[in-house]
Amino acid sequence: MDILFTGNSHTFFNDMPRTFGRLWEAQTGEKARPLMLCHGGKSFSWHWKEYFELRFDLLFGGFDVAVFQQCAHPFAGSEEEFEAGKRLAELAKKGGARPVFALTWAEKAHPENQGKMNEFHRRLCEETGACLSPVGLVWQRVLAADPEFPLYFADGEHASVYGDYLIAVTHCRLLSGRSCLDLPAAGCDFFDPETQGIREAETMTVLEEEKCRIIRRAAEETFAEMGM
């Protein structure tokens, strides 16, 4: 499967698309070719205004799936952003890609923001026929059971390695339609503690199985509630 991730730092943190590719192969036995078109802090409307870069990728890149992620902290949920999201979904369809909107998660200090994120993404999927990847709902479920579960990076906004594992698991569960309970505890950590910078070499790492099991179970419960 060829899949394009379009978004911002909440998409590219910890090489999340690479974790997705690893989990997808483990779940389906098929190779995934994940690519990214991501710029830090950028919204749907920004990507639409740039247009030509994304236009070429979606129309001629031969992608099976296009995953779009809105900037989240603060959440850009205006009508302008909503209309841009609709245009992105239609462009994906024209290129033969299945559009997916990744439901973002609220920052740690403002969990009350999750509600407007949920409503924005649900309405967007209803009006475009795109699929919803319920990342924020799975995130909420994990934290409801354990508010100290390490989903957040140190800034309380971005995802930790476990947060990005949650994202990748949720995408895999949505796109495969198969249980994610037996997925491996493998993720990516692109931070180098020695240099305090980003690793330029391999970033795959083994995660704690018990933490990953909690995430996978939360994903299954969320999809069950959604009737999927």
Q: Tell me, what's the pLDDT at 76?
A: 87
Q: What is the mean pLDDT of residues 51-73?
A: 96
Residues 167-221 pLDDT 10s: 999 999 999 999 999 999 999 999 998 888 999 989 999 999 999 999 999 999 9
CA distance 223 to 200: 35
Q: Tell me, what's the pLDDT at 122?
A: 97
CB 51 within 8 A of CB 69: no
Residues 33-61 pLDDT 10s: 999 999 999 999 999 999 999 999 999 99
CB 209 within 8 A of CB 181: no
Q: Which domains, from first to last, does the chain contain?
A: 2-225 (3.40.50.1110)
Residues 94-105 pLDDT 10s: 999 999 999 999
Angle 58-122-132 from CA coordinates, rounded to 5° = 50
Q: Tell me, what's the pLDDT at 196?
A: 87
The secondary structure of residue 61, as a DSSP letter, is S
Q: Tell me, what's the pLDDT at 194?
A: 86
CA distance 8 to 93: 21
